[in-house]
Amino acid sequence: MICLSLTRETLAENLKEIERYKKYLQLCELRGDCLTEWDTEALRDFPRQAGVPLILTLRRAGDGGNWRTSEEERCSRFMEILSSGYTWVDLEHASATESVARAARKKGIRIIRSFHDTRGVPEDLPERFRELPEREGEIPRIVTTPRSVADLRIILQTLRETSGPGIIQAMGEWGFPARILSGLYGSYFTLVSPEKSPDDPVPLSPESLEKLYRYSTLSSSTSIFGIIGNPVLHSRSPLIHNSGYAKQSLDAVYLPFKVDDVGEFFSLAEELSIQGFSVTIPHKSEVIPRLVQTSDEVAAIGACNTVVRSSSGFKGYNTDVRGFMLPLKKLCVAGFPKRAVVIGAGGAARAVVYGLKEAGTEILIVNRTESKALDLAREFNCRGAALSPGIYSEMAEYAELVVQTSAAGMHPLEEIDPVSEYPWTGKEIAYDLIYIPEKTRFLSAAENVGCRILNGAPMLQAQGEAQYKLFTGTEYPR
């Protein structure tokens, strides 16, 4: 079930939220502690107006809420409105709310017994979850704040091993996949909030849970794919892959996993039977020793962006090369560039240099840190130099194509053009691997004098489509 958290300051605003998302929701949690005014009559009428089953919650400040008065006062507020149509009441573990619990039991209102860890994941999560209900019939709810992929693993394990209704919420970036998978692993409901809040810094709207991740279709037979990285939640890959699965009606889902420890993630991948995953910064090299087999490109580049499960273990591929080359080949049907400048000497530059070399292009690599440019140039048998205006005249000799692979131009470096003084002639092709913003300063400067330009969006799409084929065995649907 999808449960919308109602944390607006007024009941009218909360009703608007319900209206907006109604078709995706099975229930809502009214966070009475977020209201700026207490209007008993209106709160009594709220369940009728809402038209969806409601949980009533007055969350204390110590548990991550806004309720700051005494427990006595809190209990009397609960009692004023409890029996006016609320289906569940959330009462914290070891709180002085026994009178409310008694009244709720009498009226047939179900009790959700909650425990909140705003700092992490309780060490004894499985035992705590089991022992949380104070009476038979109470639904345990633990709200956690995972801080690592190991924490995420414990949460998912606990959910999978528990029978009977219960909820484990995993807040923040680390917990994001658990919120999508929790229904599949037996969580009573999945809490969503459409906007960022102190409670939920990484919002997951009911709409994206249903439309992007197809929450209500997930089951134990669903194949799980994903992307690992750090950071990762900005990635557009879930949109590329999940849209493909939806178009082809594949029983599959693709999730973003924030990963700090690659080894832990491989254990999680075994436990969840993850069928394949994309790899982004900073894990592209680190995954390699854990693979049973790698493609020639992975071996040559030393970076793997695609991992696929096989009967003998995980195999590694690199689709960045194909992703980079495909849009360029389309642009250069009349003839592929014979000479090129590559700006940057990081992971992306390695794929670019490999692809261009394979196509027979002569390359000059320029990088902020000269030694890295020289190392990469040595490895791929091309010319390397420090990135500075002093190299511009030599750059001009190679600049049939100029590929910008550095992070300059991407958030938070949007204002930077790494070759801001370069004398473009208008004959060059300028290709920036960055796709947000759509047009970097580098691309604007080249376009202004008439150069043909390409940004990183078609590359992202093409590398994603190549991954899709490796993951599913079918072409990406058009």
Annotated catalytic residues are 284
d(CA 128, CA 131): 5
Q: How far is the CB of 298 from ligand NAP (least distance, A)?
A: 15
Q: Which residues contact 79 (CB under 8 A, 6 or more apart)?
A: 99, 100, 103
- Closest to ligand NAP by CB, 281 vs 396, is 281
410 makes contact with ligand NAP (CB under 6 A): yes
One-letter amino acid for residue 418 of the chain? P
List the one residue from 173, 320, 428, 465 that touches ligand NAP (CB under 6 A).
Answer: 320
- Taking the least distance from each CB to ligand NAP, the nearer of 214 and 372 is 372
**Stretch binding ligand NAP (CB under 6 A), from 206-214, 291-299, 328-336, 430-438:** 430-438
Region binding ligand NAP by CB under 6 A among candidate stretches 39-47, 109-117, 310-318, 361-369: 361-369
Which residue number, 237 or 242, has a Cβ lying nearer to ligand NAP? 237
Find, among 238, 280, 274, the residue nearest to 259 by Cα.
Answer: 280
Q: Does 369 bind ligand NAP (CB under 6 A)?
A: yes
Identify which of residues 32 and 256 has a Cβ nearer to ligand NAP in the complex. Answer: 256
Q: Residue 415 carries which DSSP code?
A: T
Burial 68-94 (b: 16+ CB within 10 A, else e): eeeeeebbebbeebbeebbebbbbbbe
Shortest gap between Cβ of 28 and ligand NAP (angstroms)? 38
Of 47-55, 227-235, 285-293, 410-418: span binding ligand NAP (CB under 6 A): 410-418
Contact between 236 and ligand NAP (CB under 6 A)? no
Binding pattern for the stretch 269-308 against ligand NAP, x by CB under 6 A and - elsewhere: ------------x---------------------------
Shortest Cβ 204–ligand NAP spacing (Å): 24
CA 42 from centre of chain:
38
Closest residue to ligand NAP: CB criterion:
346
Q: Identify the CA nearest to 432 among candidates 400, 471, 392, 405.
A: 405
| Binding mask of the shown chain, residues 431 to 460, with x at each position contacting ligand NAP by CB under 6 A | --xxx--------------------x--xx
Per CB under 6 A, 374 contacts ligand NAP: no
In our burial notation (b when 16+ CB lie closer than 10 A, e otherwise), range 383-404 reads bbbebeeebbeebeebbbbbbb
Cα separation values, 435 from 172, 280, 328, 344, 409, Å: 25, 15, 15, 16, 10
Encoded tokens for 178: 């658990």
Strands of 107-152, DSSP E: 110-116, 139-144
Binding of ligand NAP at residue 368 (CB under 6 A)?
yes
Backbone angles phi and psi of 305, in degrees to 5: -115, 0
Number of residues that bind ligand NAP (CB under 6 A): 28
Contact residue for ligand NAP among 359, 416, 447, 470 (CB under 6 A): 416
Query: In angstroms, what is the minimal distance from the CB of 287 to ligand NAP?
Result: 14
Tell the smallest beta-carbon distance from residue 433 to ligand NAP (Å).
4
Interaction with ligand NAP in 330-349: which residues (CB under 6 A)? Answer: 344-349
Element (H, E) at 3: strand 2-6
Give backbone dihedrals phi and psi of 180, rounded to 5 degrees, phi first.
-80, -35
Contact 469, 441 (CB under 8 A): no
133 Cβ contact list (under 8 Å, min separation 6) = 113, 139, 140
| Residues binding ligand NAP (CB under 6 A) | 281, 320, 323, 344-349, 367-369, 372, 405-408, 410, 413, 416, 418, 433-435, 456, 459-460, 463
